[in-house]
Amino acid sequence: MQAVAETLFDIVYLITVITIGILMIRGSGGARPFRLFGWMAVVLGAGDSFHLVPRVIALCTTGLENYTVPLGLGKWVTSVTMTIFYVLLYYVWRQRYQVSGRGGLTAAVYALAGVRIALCMMPQNQWLSAEAPLSWGICRNVPFALLGLLVIVLFYRSAREHKDRAFRWIWLTIVLSFGFYIPVVLWADAVPMIGMLMIPKTCAYVWTVLIGYFAMKQECK
């Protein structure tokens, strides 16, 4: 039952975000923030597919324990693409609110993203092992969480300042995604059921993508 439910959920998720991303790229016209939002959605779905497709195959065949290497490789790729996702989201913020300058802020975004990706590349992560160390899981997620916090603050302040109803909940979707993700990083190995929090985390990202899509439909008529 779990295999069927999770497989259906993962397939629907991947098709949804990638399809919406393509629709936004094609339908945004000259609206650069929405075109960038579309690429962001495609990166999200394409990156997650490296982990979710092997997971679906494992659940429907011989089990997760026999797919340690492809699942680990998928997590590795997803860790990098999720970092790129937040860098793109930062540029959505800049274009949405016509932000110029702020070189120090941009440098901070690239620094956090660079540190995160560099930490993900370290062999100590043991991505391809069934016994990946928790300490490195925490370490590589510190700059990622700081990057997410920065984007949360930027969208929260700008949406309120510009009375931007279309994007008013972007900050909350990111808060929810990290709120569900952090317990998985910390305790999923000890308590496997905590891994189920990845489902609402994924739903939070779908909400993010839908916010951009519906805003485009409203503003690019």
For residue 168, the 8-state DSSP code is: T
Tell me if 13 sits within 8 A of 199, measured CB to CB. no
The mean pLDDT value for 171-187 works out to 92
For residue 19, the 8-state DSSP code is: H
> Residue 15 is encoded by which pair of tokens?
């098709």
Question: Which of residues 191 and 58 earns the better pLDDT score?
Answer: 58
pLDDT at 221: 64
The mean pLDDT value for 113-141 works out to 92
Position 137, amino acid: G
The mean pLDDT value for 187-203 works out to 85
The whole-angstrom separation of Cα 177 and Cα 112 is: 18
Query: Residue 193's domain is classified under what CATH number?
Result: 1.20.1070
pLDDT band at residue 190, thresholds of 50, 70 and 90?
Answer: confident
The mean pLDDT value for 18-42 works out to 90
Tell me the chain's radius of gyration from C-alpha atoms.
Answer: 18
The mean pLDDT value for 112-120 works out to 97
Considering the chain, what is the average pLDDT of its residues? Answer: 91
The whole-angstrom separation of Cα 161 and Cα 119 is: 35
The mean pLDDT value for 100-128 works out to 94
Give exposure, 77-104, as e/b (b: 16+ Cβ within 10 Å): bbbbbbbbbbbbbbbbbbbbbeeeeeee
- 78 backbone dihedrals φ, ψ, rounded to 5°: -60, -35
Percentage of residues in the chain having pLDDT higher than 90: 70
Residue range 35-92, pLDDT digits in tens: 999 999 999 999 999 999 998 898 888 887 888 899 999 999 999 999 999 999 999 9
Asked which of 30-39, 142-151, 168-177 is least confident by mean pLDDT, the reply is: 30-39
The mean pLDDT value for 195-220 works out to 91
3-state secondary structure of 1: coil
- 169 backbone dihedrals φ, ψ, rounded to 5°: -110, 5
Contacts of 97 (CB under 8 A, 6+ apart): 158, 162, 164
Q: Please count the structural domains in the chain.
A: 1
Q: State pTM to two decimals.
A: 0.93
Residue 121, domain extent: 2-219
